[in-house]
């Protein structure tokens, strides 16, 4: 008897890392890697929709990425606005509900307007939620939630914080993938990943294809998610459910 998850993870979170190295290895400017990264994201979104994933949350630009050279930051901003213009009609047709998660204060008016427009035009979609974390940091998320509660004079509890966090509209991630070979969180979903299964891929993000996604899902399905319990407890629970 097994208590291993058998289906696809409901919520997958991805740190899409390795675009710069992908470009550098080809003697291309780093921004060419980010461009290829957008292609890889398009493929990944489609693959997740096809596999029945309920929520996909991706890390596109961190609070700390402002520290990169100005031409790379500008390139990333332009790429985002351009990609939205092209991709939103397709996402809309594919039933994807878009959410932008992150601090909008530091973004240009033009950018904020296109984020708001993209969210509004996909708001009624129900097939899959796509959260794009942009100008996002896990610490920003926790601090902002706490500040909001304090302002409203509400008590700070796990439940109240949970409701005030930027991903309150979806359940916590089940599978946390990082591409690019690094094994760190880099300030992504610090609160929400408390019980996510971690999967690190050596593939650079532009190379992360359907087969790589299926490998990650396959590994997830071999994990035993105990949430603090023992294996025996999980198996007994499963047995009870099966004989009930
Ligand atoms: C991830 O790829 C995308 C962003 C951070 C915007 P990187 O740009 O970090 O790629 P590497 O890690 O330098 O290869
Ligand atoms: C994390 O990647 C951020 C995104 C993928 C958007 P980084 O490349 O910024 O992470 P570090 O700096 O290597 O930790
Ligand atoms: Mg990186």
133 in Cβ contact with 102 (< 8 Å): yes
pLDDT one-digit tens code per residue, 82-107: 999 999 999 999 999 999 999 999 99
Q: Among residues 93, 156, 168, which one has the least CA distance to residue 131?
A: 168
pLDDT one-digit tens code per residue, 153-212: 999 999 999 999 999 999 999 999 999 999 999 999 999 999 999 999 999 999 999 999
Pocket of ligand 2 (CB under 6 A): 15-17, 59-62, 65, 182, 184, 186
How many Å lie between the centroid of ligand 2 and the Cα of residue 64? 8
Greater model confidence, 91 or 1 = 91
Structure-token pair, residue 226: 């105990």
What's the burial of 1, exposed, middle or buried (CB within 10 Å: 0-12/13-18/19+)? exposed
Question: Does ligand 1 come within 6 angstroms of the Cβ of 32?
Answer: no
63 in Cβ contact with 187 (< 8 Å): yes
User: For the packed helices 30-51 and 70-93, what is the interaxial angle rounded to 10 degrees?
Assistant: 20
pLDDT one-digit tens code per residue, 203-227: 999 999 999 999 999 999 999 999 9
Q: Atom 9 of ligand 2 has which residue's CA nearest to it?
A: 65
Q: Strand pairing partners for 101?
A: 133
Task: Identify the pLDDT of residue 242.
Answer: 73
DSSP 172: P
Determine the distance from the C-alpha atom of residue 81 to the mean position of all C-alpha atoms in its chain, rounded to a whole number: 19
Domain ranges of the chain: 11-243
Structure-token pair, residue 71: 């031409």
Count of Cβ atoms closer than 10 Å to residue 196 Cβ: 20
- Is residue 65 annotated as part of the catalytic site, yes or no? yes
pLDDT one-digit tens code per residue, 37-82: 999 999 999 999 999 999 999 999 999 999 999 999 999 999 999 9
Q: What is the pTM of this model?
A: 0.96
**What are the strands, taking DSSP E only, across the chain?**
11-15, 55-62, 96-101, 128-136, 175-178, 197-200
Task: Identify the pLDDT of residue 3.
Answer: 57
- Is residue 209 annotated as part of the catalytic site, yes or no? no
Q: Among residues 57, 35, 18, which one has the least CA distance to residue 200?
A: 18
Domain 11-243 has CATH 3.40.1180.10: yes
């Amino acid at each position: 008897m097994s208590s291993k998850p058998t289906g696809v993870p409901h919520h997958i979170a991805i740190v899409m890392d390795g675009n710069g190295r992908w470009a550098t290895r080809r003697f291309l400017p780093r921004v060419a890697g980010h461009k290829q990264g957008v292609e890889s994201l398009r493929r990944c979104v489609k693959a997740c929709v096809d596999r029945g994933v309920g929520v996909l949350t991706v890390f596109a630009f961190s609070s700390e990425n402002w520290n990169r050279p100005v031409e790379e930051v500008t390139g990333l901003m332009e790429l985002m606005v351009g990609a939205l213009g092209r991709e939103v009609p397709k996402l809309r047709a594919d039933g994807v509900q878009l959410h932008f998660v992150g601090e909008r204060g530091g973004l240009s008016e033009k950018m904020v307007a296109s984020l708001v427009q993209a969210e509004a035009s996909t708001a009624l979609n129900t097939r899959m939620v796509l959260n794009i974390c942009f100008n996002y940091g896990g610490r920003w998320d926790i601090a902002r939630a706490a500040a909001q509660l304090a302002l409203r004079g509400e008590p700070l509890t796990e439940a109240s914080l949970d409701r005030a966090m930027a991903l309150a509209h979806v359940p916590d991630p089940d599978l946390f993938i990082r591409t690019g070979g690094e094994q760190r969180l880099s300030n992504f979903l610090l609160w929400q990943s408390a019980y996510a299964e971690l999967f690190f891929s050596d593939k650079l993000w532009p190379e992360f294809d359907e087969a790589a996604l299926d490998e990650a899902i396959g590994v997830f399905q071999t994990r035993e998610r105990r949430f603090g319990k023992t294996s025996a407890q999980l198996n007994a629970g499963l047995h009870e459910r099966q004989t009930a």
